[in-house]
Amino acid sequence: MRRRCINLAVVLLAILLITNCRSSGKVQNDSSDLVLLNQVGYQTNAQKLALVADGINEVVIIDTEGTEVFRTVPAAASYWDKSGDAVTVIDFSAVNVPGKYTLILPGHNQTYEINISDRPFTELSKAALKSFYYNRTAIAIEPEFGGIWARPAGHPDTAVLVHASAATEARPEGTVISSPLGWYDAGDYNKYVVNSGITTYTMLQAFTDYQDYFRSLNINIPESGGPIPDVLAETLFNLRWVLTMQDPNDGGVYHKLTNKQFDAFVMPHEAIAERYVVQKGTAAALNFAALAGKGYRTLHTWNNELPGLADSCLRMAEFAWKWAVKNPEVEYKQPEDIATGGYGDKNFNDEWFWAASELYLATGKKEYLDVILEKYSKPLVPTWNQTYALGFISLLDNYELLPETIKNTNLREDFLTLVDELTEISKTSPYAVSIENFAWGSNSDVANHGMLKLFAFKITGNDDYLVSALSDMDYILGRNATGYCFVTGFGHKKVMNIHHRPSGADGIEDPVPGFLSGGPNLSVLTDCGPDVERSPYPAKSFVDLECSYSTNEIAINWNAPLVYLVAGLDALLTR
């Protein structure tokens, strides 16, 4: 690259600002966010994009010696109706030497630090995965593994009551059962099968797709250094809980394990209200069947280390399927005395398809093949209540083994059509990202977009998917309309006040690291009361306040695709 000296006054200003930034430990940005960029780091030989605001006439990047390595005059800005502003995409991919750089806007009293390295995502990958450890129930988070976020054990769940809605002759109301382990679902202290289903599946699929990477990833949890890779050991902590949610008498699966009311913002060991398993339902049974089927397929090669677990998963998966066949339309309806998360779902076609896909791959039985064909529909971006894409991923991962009857459904074409649509949107979006609809947990949609693209890259080798997934990662790490890096513990404009009870009650300024904040949306505007204003634009409607459960909560099903995305990029970009 041609290098030339820049105006001496600009250099002196940059050095002064860099010194000030280093002394405070972060880059000083004002609220105008004239530049939006990935605040964690760019991979040395990969695409590097930033966004600059309308009216910026020149962008300069210098190295630590003050030598210019990049200069450009931004093109005309493009307006995005989701953010209410106009930005220009700046591509500085030609800067491909690892190091610290400073982006300067001549004429403006702002600088922005840029980090370029061969492995910019490794620590982020570790933190995103370890966030699940911090959300474990039943065990203490010891200082050796949790550092300043160590805490006593909460919610052993070894004496849980059967709620009236879940009572049967074999297990009448008030029966005491044991249902230990598992992760707290989100910012609250409850556990939900339908949300654990997609979460735990995504973690298992991440391991399936990047086994070599995960075998060497040590995140310092109690199981580290053992025969089971950390990602699998952490995932098993939740899978084992899910397996306890099946009634061994009939195969039905309880929808959730919960208090009757949400706990206050206290530490887990201080939340001692009675716990209940609540109502069996078709969605829970099919989620269970799908996840346990995936568990069997993942774990059967680990029989020496985990004797009998894979076989138990398959047996219990088929038992849950049989219950669902007998009870095909049992919708979860929140009992009057239960006020925690509902996770209600009225359409089970996607769960039937997903469960049938997993069990067909596990057994080859015709009854599951028939349901795959009967319930087939084009995939959508996955969410806890829309799981078609999960079945597609599992089937496509075993495409060569599938019968022609499944291949003739246009399975591969329909999946790639979805990913192509997302990829094309990112190419034309002013913010170079696929997201257009800002639902609750919008950041998880971005992470799921990236996950789908990386899987599409796996099965096609098309670099467009990899590049677009990297752009989704940039968005999460700060190149978004709010200017926040949305993963706790990272970035210079940090999310600090997540809606997460341990982070809010532990007396520590920094939140538990590695969590993906839910992100901007217009779904609820009153969670923080009338004195907190939110932008009317969906891409900017976010506040970093603990009260904002609609924009700043965390959830396991949001972190799982983050784990997949950041691990995949860390593995693929350094191959």
Q: Are 116 and 37 in contact (CB under 8 A)?
A: no
Choose, from 113, 230, 474, 553, the residue flagged as catalytic: 553
Least Cα distance to 353 among 380, 371, 328, 370 occurs for 371
- In sign, the C-alpha dihedral spanning 105, 92, 428, 128 is negative
Six token digits for residue 261: 């009311």
Q: Is 311 annotated in the active site?
A: no
Could you give the strand order of the β-sheet that contains 191-192, starting from the edge strand earlier in sequence?
176-177, 160-162, 276-280, 254-258, 191-192
Pairing of strands 111-117, 42-43: parallel
Choose, from 85, 499, 500, 546, the residue flagged as catalytic: 499
Query: DSSP string covering 198-234, please?
Result: HHHHHHHHHHHHTHHHHHT-----TTTTSSS-HHHHH
Choose, from 68, 85, 188, 263, the residue flagged as catalytic: 188
Gap between the Cα atoms of 434 and 448, Å rounded: 11
Gap between the Cα atoms of 5 and 66, Å rounded: 8
Query: DSSP string covering 427-461, please?
Result: HHSTTS-------TTHHHHHHHHHHHHHHHHHHH-
Please state at what angle helix 556-572 crosses helix 442-460, rounded to 10 degrees. Answer: 40
The strand pairing partners of 91, in sequence order, are 49
In 227-373, where do the E strands start and end?
254-258, 276-280
Gap between the Cα atoms of 130 and 512, Å rounded: 10
Could you give the strand order of the β-sheet that contains 49-53, starting from the edge strand earlier in sequence?
35-36, 49-53, 85-91, 78-80
Gap between the Cα atoms of 540 and 525, Å rounded: 12
Six token digits for residue 159: 């004496």
The strand pairing partners of 166, in sequence order, are none
Q: Is 544 annotated in the active site?
A: yes
Q: Are 543 and 553 in contact (CB under 8 A)?
A: no
Residues ≥6 apart with Cβ < 8 Å to 221: 130, 133, 145, 230, 233, 234
Gap between the Cα atoms of 242 and 236, Å rounded: 10
Gap between the Cα atoms of 455 and 460, Å rounded: 9
Maximum Cα–Cα distance for the chain, whole Å? 84
Least Cα distance to 64 among 15, 23, 22, 106 occurs for 15
Instruction: Give me the amino acid identity at 369.
Output: L
Q: Is 499 annotated in the active site?
A: yes
Q: Kindly list the catalytic residues.
A: 188, 499, 544, 553
